[in-house]
Amino acid sequence: MALQQSRSFFASPAPFLARRSSLQFNLRSSSLRISSSSSCSSNKIERAYTSVVIVPTGVGASIGGFAGDAVPVARAIASVVDCLISHPNVLNAAMLYWPMPNVLYVEGHALDRFAEGLWGLQPVHQNKVGLVLDAGMEEELRVRHLQVADAMRASLGLPIVEYVITDVPLEVETWVDPKCGKSTGRIKRPDSLLRAVNSLVNHSKVNAVAVVGRFPDETIEEMEEYRHGKGVDLLAGVEAIISHLVVKEFQIPCAHAPAIAPLPLSSSLCPRSAAEEIGYTFLPCVLAGLSRAPQYVVRTSGSLEHNCIFSGDVDSVILPIDAFGGDGALAFARSLKNKPLMIAVEDNETVLDDTPDKLQIEVVKVANYWEAIGVIAAHKAGLDPYSLRRNGISNLKCASVLPYCNGSIALRTS
């Protein structure tokens, strides 16, 4: 399907260079020197081009609804922007992960608050990561997860400082919402989780937390469709609930890795689900992401913290075509100042029905992520993406000046 426009073009026109540069002029030699930088901070000459990629959790997304199958999307977009902001559902791949220095790993609740302008993102060199293990986990599973943490410390040098076991089992439950078909659930003992995190924050002085909850064994039987590339991820919905709870309470980066019994061997496994089948835990990607996740800065009234990224710095937001109803997506789409270019990917469908047309959101519709990357590249270059298409540009409209009336001049477009 061809690239389409819904209602109007983007509201954030500005020329952006292919790489953010610092410019120096040498008066003696009259030469202009350009040195490139790939970090996410802005400089005096120009600001970085920043994109946000969102694929909601546990909604059966065609791309991003499985075990890290949206990581290639993030890698491709990160190669054409200065800074990419995304969340664990896009960037996690169980036993696999890919380091991307210009990507910010932001938990979903924090991403919503960021989009609303309430929180800023402060990039870091390193976080002190603590690990919470569910008391409901068997001894063997607990040892496996601790071995992963030690391996990440020894082989990758990650700063994982201490772990704590919850005082009672968290009692995780999962189910599918019958109204919309997305996965959800609960933990019966959220108080135990919060006490464990509080201990790490206040006694171990960590500023990021990985949580491992023991999931019920019956979930494995219900995962067969997912393992074959169909349906929704039954674990993902309650994982998001767990991380949201921690981030809302402590305002620090958090991500969750489920602990389940070893999965039975399948000879017809879908490649998109395979990352969860090659080890005993899903913890490696979580620890890698949290080690350099940005810290969350809660904005006070009118404050502008230094070295932080805010929602007004975002230039484009990319979502599945029917997933525009979340808090973050709505906040970006309805921004009154520095509204980003909203891009809807038709090739990525979910169980949701929150389309831009239904919500009256102005977007550029693209057939797939290939086209999305082209639109982002054009936008970053300061171009109208439709200028790259045959017959994409119509004649310029004339704004007529109406007679002076009531102390003002009105404009009429013809």
Whole-angstrom distance, CA of residue 8 vs CA of residue 203:
53
Whole-angstrom distance, CA of residue 368 vs CA of residue 36:
30
Q: What's phi and psi for 245, nearest 5 deg?
A: -60, -45
Check pLDDT > 70 for residue 210: yes
* Count of Cβ atoms closer than 10 Å to residue 188 Cβ: 12
pLDDT at 106: 98
CB distance 83 to 48 below 8 Å: yes
CB distance 50 to 85 below 8 Å: yes
**Could you tell me which residue, 229 or 295, shows the higher pLDDT?**
295
DSSP code at position 396 = P
Pairing label, strands 363-366, 399-401: unpaired
DSSP-derived 3-state class of residue 34: strand
Burial of residue 85 (CB within 10 Å: 0-12, 13-18, 19+) is: buried
The answer to whether the predicted template modeling score (pTM) of the entire model surpasses 0.75 is: yes
pLDDT in tens, 344-401: 999 999 999 999 999 999 999 999 999 999 999 999 999 998 898 888 888 998 887 6
pLDDT in tens, 315-345: 999 999 999 999 999 999 999 888 999 999 9
The residue type found at 50 is T
Pairing label, strands 295-298, 119-122: antiparallel
**Could you tell me which residue, 304 or 275, shows the higher pLDDT?**
275
